[in-house]
Chain A
Amino acid sequence: MTETLSGQSPAGRFFDPLDFLARYGTVIALALLLVFNLIFTRNFATLQTLNVNLTQVCTIVIVAVGMTMVIGTGGIDLSVGSIMAISGALAPMIFLGTIVPVGNIYLWVAAAILIAVGAATLLGLFNGWLVAYFRIQPIVATLVLFIAGRGIAQVLTNGNLQVFRVPEFQWIGLGRPLGIPVQVIIMMAIVLLAAWCLRRTVFGRSILATGGNERAAELAGIPVNRVKLAVYAISGFCAGIAGLVVVAINSASDANLVGLGMELDAIAAVAVGGTLLSGGKATIIGTLLGALTIQLVRYTLLANGVPDAAALVVKAAIIVLAVWLQQQGRAR
């Protein structure tokens, strides 16, 4: 089982096509999709296509990064969508002056971002607390906030749509320094930071060790409980940021809709990316590729006139195929 930590397969075997597919399937699929689109989809190789796809995928990627870390410890976080709704509801309440009348707009926007993301992180910590100290199964523990969280966001806003025109805040969703959307920069920063963290830091190794064999990790002196607290807090943090990006893009916050179904999109991206759902093996770059693949499949189908509903069925098939291939690769 050393391979789970080092990410290497037993060397010295003959070339195994299934193992190869399991390893590089996502990259190959992505490449094939790109080639297909370049040939068949009109106006594919444009900056606009790139921007559309990146802006649509980036909230999923941001959430999926936190999810990857949680899943790396053998957990799961169902509450991300609801946490997005809370963060997306809180921020406008602050910079629109619903709570305290607005003074300096920059100050209030900064406070809104800090408080919304802070609240999301605290909710993540709460999940971690339930998982680590009460030993509640992650599915159940995060189910609590999945159910209650959206309700909290709706109660906060009374279920009303909050519409706003605050360019200082909307810059997160609409700004384009050097022609690159701000949310894409945020996404890349989070992805790179998390990938580095998972590969090169003691904390990252502790995550995988906890997911690989919790008991052994504990005996080896890894602070398992604190690792768990941290990954759920990170997941909450990522969801908080994603919630802000969504409302900034929409110039409106609807507690009923922000982040709806996000937990499943994120989990699908993580699974397609090659992270083991049972924990112990995780890859952030894989998650990014997984999210991109799912997004590109959907885009390809839509751009070629296939209805969105059929795209859902195809997405389902891809998830199953990807996970099955990875298992075949591992079984050898």
Chain B
Amino acid sequence: MKRKLDARILIGTYGVVLALALLIAFGWWRYENFLGLFNVMSVLRYNSMFALVALGMCFVIMTGGIDLSVGSTAALGSVAAALASPYGILPGAAAGIGVGAVVGALNGLLVTRLNIMPFIATLATMLAASGSALLLANNQSVSVSYESGFTSLGQGNLWVLPIPALIAAGAYIIGSIVLNYTSAGRTILAIGGNEEASRLMGLRTDAIKFFTYLASGGLAGLAGVILAAQFGAGQPIEGVGWELFAIAAVVVGGTLLTGGVGSVGTTLAGVLLLGILFNVLNFENGMGWISLSAYWQSVIRGAFLLVVVIIQARLMTSRRAAL
């Protein structure tokens, strides 16, 4: 009985990795240049922003919270980065990450000090960040400086690897270490499992929760830096719907929205799965057999999310019944 249970949990957690492998195998079998250097690198480059946002979201969700502000925080970060880009790469990046961290800290304070539900607190800061981005940018996109080398953060390569993908990879490695090998990581999962019990056990629940929102804001700011560098401009109205895409990626990655269960690696798999789904669609259109407009991508993503959550729900109920 016990082994059967473990298999179920395994499918629930690593099903996304399996699905990702199947999707890549399908693309490799069907399209000539699918695993070509150019395609792989552009997929990684483009999805690195979403990967960063989803990483922060994953941490917040594991504590049982949610962060709706990441999309407009990224927009705000991109504007701040673009404005600071004439002073060089580091000031540009620091400005983006800095404003992101400020929004994140605000979220953390609202949630832990004022005890406002995360959904509402981050909904409010989402509006505030969006408004600040528009004010800061004067309602238009802010072009970045090309002399300072700032754009290499989005467009540059290290050998053949895109720099934004390397940044994202670094963030995931750090995230994974924090979650699996530090007491903070264990506390995050403990809070999501049972916050009151964690508090009574003497864990510093408020400090850790604050830290997850801070990290989520900072990562969203970093995503904004890459956004500005990749497209050559700070975009105050970009990032609409990013938060929900990130939530979808986290959920597809097997992290429960109730908190307490989660994994950094499968979140990355979730991001890549949703990203590659779009890539496959483009290839399929290129083959000329079918012609699905770009609008189909959201329909397909939605349908995909539906399948995943139904499977998860089934697994959960059978698990509950078995216990």
Task: Give residues of chain A (77-110) contacting chain B, Cβ–Cβ below 8 Å.
Answer: 78
Q: Please, how many angstroms separate the alpha-carbon atoms of A137 and B114 in the complex?
A: 25
Main SS at interface, chain B: helix
Q: Are A313 and B131 in contact (CB under 8 A)?
A: yes
Residues of B within 8 A of A316 (CB): 124-128, 131
Known contacts A316-B127, A319-B127; decide if A309 and B295 are in contact (CB<8 Å). no
Given A147-B244, A271-B120, A155 contacting B299 (CB threshold 8 A): yes
- Of residues 241 through 282 on chain B, the ones whose CB sits less than 8 Å from some CB of chain A are 244-245, 247-248, 251, 257-258
Report yes or no: B130 in contact with A312, Cβ–Cβ below 8 A.
Answer: yes
Chain A residues with Cβ under 8 A from B124's Cβ?
Answer: 268, 316-317, 319-320
B132 touches A313 (CB 8 A): yes
Which residue from chain A places its CB closest to the CB of B302 in the assembled complex? A148
Q: Does B134 contact A (CB under 8 A)?
A: yes
A144–B316 contact, CB under 8 A? no
Nearest CB on B from A216, distance (A): 19
Contact-residue bracket for chain B:
35 or more
Say yes or no: is A278 at the interface (Cβ < 8 Å to chain B).
Answer: yes
Assuming the contacts A155-B296, A155-B299, asked whether A320 and B248 have C-beta atoms less than 8 A apart, the reply is: no
Among B120, B128, B240: residue with most chain A CB under 10 A? B120
- Over the window 46-80 of chain B, the binary record of Cβ atoms lying under 8 Å from chain A Cβ atoms (1 yes, 0 no) is 00000000000000000000101000000000000
- Chain A min CB distance to B302 (Å): 2
Q: B116–A143 contact, CB under 8 A?
A: no
User: Known contacts A144-B306, A151-B295, A312-B134: does B257 contact A137 (CB below 8 Å)?
Assistant: yes
B323 at the interface (CB under 8 A from A): no
- Residues of chain B within 8 A (CB-CB) of A152 are 299
Interface residues of B in 112-152 (CB under 8 A from A): 114-117, 119-121, 123-128, 130-135, 139
| A311 and B114 within 8 A (CB) | no
Interface of A is mostly: helix
Contact B309 A139 (CB under 8 A): no
Contact A140 B116 (CB under 8 A): no
B317 within 8 A of A: yes
Judge if A251 is at the interface, Cβ distance under 8 Å: no
Please name the residue on chain A nearest to B296 by beta carbon.
Answer: A155
B301 CB within 8 Å of chain A: yes
Nearest B residue (CB) for A268 = B123
Q: Does A215 contact B (CB under 8 A)?
A: no
| A136-B309 contact, Cβ under 8 Å, with A309-B134, A316-B124, A319-B124 | yes
Minimum CB–CB distance from B50 to chain A (whole Å) comes to: 14
CA distance A190 to B234 in the complex (A): 43
**Is A320's CB under 8 angstroms from B309's CB?**
no
Asked whether A141 lies within 8 Å of B309 as measured between CB atoms, the reply is: yes
A319/B302 in contact, CB under 8 A: no
Would you call B305 an interface residue if the criterion is a C-beta within 8 Å of the partner chain's C-beta atoms? Answer: yes
Mark contacts of B298-319 with chain A using CB atoms, 8 A cut-off: 1 yes-contact digit, 0 otherwise. Answer: 1111110110011011101100
- A298 → chain B closest CB, angstroms: 11
Among all A-B residue pairs, the 3 with the closest Cβ atoms: A148-B302, A312-B131, A151-B298
Q: Show 18 A/B contacts (Cβ-Cβ < 8 Å), sorted by A.
A: A140-B251, A143-B244, A144-B302, A145-B302, A147-B245, A148-B302, A148-B306, A150-B298, A151-B297, A154-B298, A155-B295, A158-B295, A309-B131, A312-B134, A316-B131, A317-B124, A319-B124, A320-B114
